[in-house]
Amino acid sequence: MASSIKSNLNPFLANKLSFTRTERSISCMKRAVSNNLAAACAVKSRSKALNMERALRERKIDGVERRERRGKFGIYGGKFVPETLMSCLGQLEAEFNLVLHDAKFQAELAIALRDYVGRETPLYFAERLTNYYKNENGEGPDIYLKREDLNHCGAHKMNNAIAQAMIAKRMGQQMVVAATGAGQHGVATAAACAKLSLECTIFMGSEDMEKQASNVFLIKLLGAQVTQVEGSFKDASSEAIRQWVNNLERSYYLTGTVVGPHPCPSMVREFQSIIGRETRKQAMERWGGRPDVVVACIGSGSNALGIFHEFTGDEDVRLVGVEAAGFGLDSGRHAATLATGHVGVYHGAMSYLLQDQEGQVLGAHSIGVGLQYPGVGPELSFLKDTGRAEFYNVTDKEALSAYQLLSRLEGIIPAMEAAHALAYLDKLCPTLPNSTKVVVNCSGRGDKDAPLFFQHLPTLNA
């Protein structure tokens, strides 16, 4: 694998950064992480922390999970942050490990997910969409939608936002800061903070505020402050992190996706993996087995990992991630990080990244505003290199078509982000045997995208 990783490195980085040096700094980092974890646990209770360590060691966990405990997925992930942030992240990691095993927290979360978020979400048989993809012999796959669009506030983002807001409260923080692209994470965070009586500031790029104006209103209505940042989601994320660093004592950075330094990717994945757990149970009830293919769109990866994680050990379940090809991969205006990116470090972790020859981060483009991020979660980079998941991409135009198709066939308006996963069915369905069970993660609802759709309608019809 080392050689494939080396060949994937940005050519500039590969020359400048020898592997020996990277490995040395990673091992220094690991020492620092474990020191910080121990220090944070000492604040809580030393014996509790030791018991927890022992319990985790004794659990039967496979090699992948073992690496993950150190915040690494193969070479990806880690904690590439300034010294000042290390102890803070250590405290967060310790708190996260505690709540995972805290029966009271888990019971409160289960109630919030049921009564506030509205889980479980249905696994819906999309009959007309299934018929649409049948061939001339009347054969084709059976298509189901995992209805994350039915969650409170209209997307999967709430699964994570409510859980992390509960952690912030437990840690005694009064203020939450977050960055949002499409606004769905902003709305979910603002709502969770209202419920838990936390102050909330949402950072949003100026371009995104314009495109997703309805969500800006909702965030304000929910009592949060919206801070405009010049640019898009990546710029808003940088600014939110900067604000957090300036006020570490009082504030909690509520990350909305599986990127950032450890423990952020593992934490968000954990809170989103309820999507896959429910899917397994519902598939068993419906057809007495597992899905054959699971499809999800990829912005940074939280809805994809949320549905994939449960099935990574089931080799017979295909995991299909769909990235945004924007105007096409050759146009340079896309967000297909796994298809065209190189390994680099961004927002505190190592992963695939859209960057130029000199390692400068490139802007990403997609009609799905929530897909416009130049990076991707480290665990997805690992799934790409190991071949466990497959990754494809669809253009803006294909996503717009799928947005319209699902609206007209099923009366379900998908988020433009989710429309990318649906658009890939055009290529996938003709290759599948009759009655293959396909589950598409419908990650959110698309009311927010209706103005954007009509603005682009002439392109679609051209």
Cβ within 8 Å of residue 393, ≥6 positions away: 322, 323, 324, 325, 329, 334, 336, 339
Q: Which residues pair with 437 in a beta bridge?
A: 142
Query: CB of 393 within 8 A of CB of 376?
Result: no
Q: Which residues pair with 320 in a beta bridge?
A: 295, 390
DSSP per position, 372-399: --SB--HHHHHHHHHTSEEEEEEEHHHH
Q: Does 323 bind ligand PLP (CB under 6 A)?
A: no
With contacts defined by CB under 6 A, name the span among 10-18, 59-67, 127-135, 302-310 that binds ligand PLP. Answer: 302-310
Instruction: Output the smallest distance, CB 237 to ligand PLP, in A.
Output: 12
**Is the N-terminal amide bond of 120 cis, ω within 30° of 0?**
yes
CA atoms within 13 A on the CB side of 173: 25
DSSP per position, 277-315: HHHHHHHHHHHSS--SEEEEE-SSSHHHHHHHGGGTT-T
With contacts defined by CB under 6 A, name the span among 6-14, 23-31, 291-299, 359-367 that binds ligand PLP. Answer: 291-299
Instruction: Output the smallest distance, CB 203 to ligand PLP, in A.
Output: 14
> What residues from 423 to 452 belong to the interface with ligand PLP (CB under 6 A)?
443-444
Instruction: Output the smallest distance, CB 193 to ligand PLP, in A.
Output: 18
Q: What is the C-alpha end-to-end distance of the chain, expressed in Å?
A: 44
Q: Does 371 bind ligand PLP (CB under 6 A)?
A: yes
Cα-based distances in Å from 229 to 202, 220, 373:
10, 16, 15
How crowded is residue 102: how many other Cβ atoms within 10 Å of its Cβ?
Answer: 14
The site map against ligand PLP for 251-290 (x = CB under 6 A) is: ------x---------------------------------
Q: Which residues pair with 202 in a beta bridge?
A: 178, 226
Distance CA 52, CA 96 (A): 12
**Nearest of 370, 365, 335 to residue 188 by alpha carbon:** 370
Q: Does 298 bind ligand PLP (CB under 6 A)?
A: yes
With contacts defined by CB under 6 A, name the span among 64-72, 136-144, 410-418, 431-439 that binds ligand PLP. Answer: 410-418
The site map against ligand PLP for 120-159 (x = CB under 6 A) is: -----------------------------------x----
Instruction: Output the smallest distance, CB 357 to ligand PLP, in A.
Output: 27
Q: Which of 299, 321, 341, 348 binds ligand PLP (CB under 6 A)?
A: 299
With contacts defined by CB under 6 A, name the span among 77-85, 100-108, 292-300, 349-357 that binds ligand PLP. Answer: 292-300
With contacts defined by CB under 6 A, name the span among 31-39, 102-110, 301-309, 336-344 that binds ligand PLP. Answer: 301-309
> What residues from 55 to 114 belong to the interface with ligand PLP (CB under 6 A)?
none
With contacts defined by CB under 6 A, name the span among 168-176, 237-245, 349-357, 413-421 that binds ligand PLP. Answer: 413-421
Q: Which residues bind ligand PLP (CB under 6 A)?
A: 155, 181-182, 184-185, 257, 297-304, 370-371, 415, 417-418, 443-444
